[in-house]
Amino acid sequence: MQALYGRNGECPVVVIASSTPSDCFHFAFEAARITLEHMTPVLLLSDSYLANSTEPWKIPQMKDLPEINPPFANREEIPFLPYKRNDKKLARSWAVPGTPGMEHRIGGLEKTVKGTVSYVPENHELMVQIRAEKVERVANEIPDLVVNGPSSGDVLVVGWGGSYGYLLTAVRELQSEGHKVSLVNFNYINPLPKNVKDVFGRFKKIVVCELNMGQFADYLRIKHQEFTYDQVNKVQGVPFTINDIKEKCIKMLEDK
């Protein structure tokens, strides 16, 4: 969670996370797609339990994978402007090296919107805002958050990444016992799916379960301050047990 921001803490990046051994390929592919289509860094989060787990998985055929469409520069737009951004994604165009008429030079120093090196504080602020907005626009192309179980109820269990397996098992057992409990597990961390507020608003209580000190819960408090978040945290180098989750949920159900 601390990796949500880049240099000097001011430049957000896209962050996604795998949930199961079989979807690690999917999210690695998704990370590459977002990087190339939006021209922005993407962090793919995983964990040792996913890396050392197994699951039946059918190797996909290349023809069945979705297309990746990088914003290649238009050869008809000469002279080529390497710092120009498109209106939809705020991504810059990508000129294939060696293309006649598109020779250009780039560098790590901060520029104006026209590509001139700038040390002006106001321009730095503008560039930070543009980079943040570029990441936020990725949310226009990611799927909505999916609820496992009824779409409304007493308790919503929230996890992210590799927490999916044991949280789903715990929630299914609670549901079989007659409790109004559902689960959402986040794969898209930054930006968050657009329907988070709508999903959270349909439950009386929310509990965020993490194998850390609660970084995602803190992040949700920043992004969606209108909700109250209970937490279940464990930092012992071992995963949650099913009872860890069930006991917390039952206590929340009993506390009116």
Count of domains for the chain: 3
- The residue from 23, 39, 64 where one domain ends is 64
The pLDDT tens digits for 242-253 are 999 999 999 999
Confidence band, pLDDT 50/70/90 cuts, at residue 48: confident
Asked whether residue 109 is assigned to any structural domain, the reply reads yes
14/48 same-domain check? yes
Please identify, among 104, 138, 172, the residue that sits at the C-terminal boundary of a domain: 138
pLDDT at 209 over 70: yes
Please report the pLDDT score of residue 8 as a whole number. 47
* Cβ contacts of 48 within 8 Å, gap of 6 or more: none
Do 191 and 164 belong together in one domain? yes
Look at residue 241 and tell me if it is in a domain.
yes
Residue 225 lies in a domain: yes
In this structure, the answer to whether residues 16 and 44 fall within a common structural domain is yes
Question: Residues 125-144: pLDDT tens digits?
Answer: 999 899 999 999 999 999 99
Alpha helices in the chain (DSSP H): 24-38, 48-51, 121-136, 164-176, 196-200, 215-223, 242-254
Residue 4: per-residue pLDDT: 54
Q: What average pLDDT does range 198-223 have in this prediction?
A: 96
Domain endpoint, select from 105, 138, 171:
138
Considering the domain boundaries, does residue 147 fall inside one?
no
Question: Which CATH number fits the domain that encloses residue 212?
Answer: 3.40.50.920
For residue 12, tell me if it sits in a domain. Answer: yes
Q: What span, in angstroms and rounded, lies between the C-alpha atoms of 247 and 173?
A: 12
Q: Report which secondary-structure segment, H or E, holds 181.
A: strand 181-186
Domain that holds residue 87: 71-138
| Average pLDDT of the chain to the nearest whole number | 91
Chain centroid to Cα 41, Å, comes to: 12
List residues bridging with 128 in a β-sheet: none
Whether 148 is in a domain gets the answer no
Q: Considering the domain boundaries, does residue 143 fall inside one?
A: no
The reply to whether 38 and 126 lie within a common domain is no
State yes or no: pLDDT of 152 exceeds 90. Answer: yes
pLDDT in the model for residue 104: 83
Do 46 and 84 reside in the same domain of the chain?
no
> Is 157 found in the same domain as 250?
yes
Domain annotation covers residue 146:
no
Question: 192 and 236 share a domain?
Answer: yes
The better pLDDT of the pair 238, 223 is held by 223
pLDDT value, residue 130: 92
pLDDT in tens, 75-124: 888 888 888 899 999 999 999 888 888 888 778 888 888 888 999 999 99
- Mean of the pLDDT values across residues 30-39? 96
Same domain, 8 and 100: no
> In this structure, which long-range contacts are made by residues 5-10, counting pairs with CB atoms below 8 Å and at least 24 apart in sequence?
6/41, 10/128
What mean pLDDT comes out for the span 2-25?
74
Stated pTM of the model: 0.90
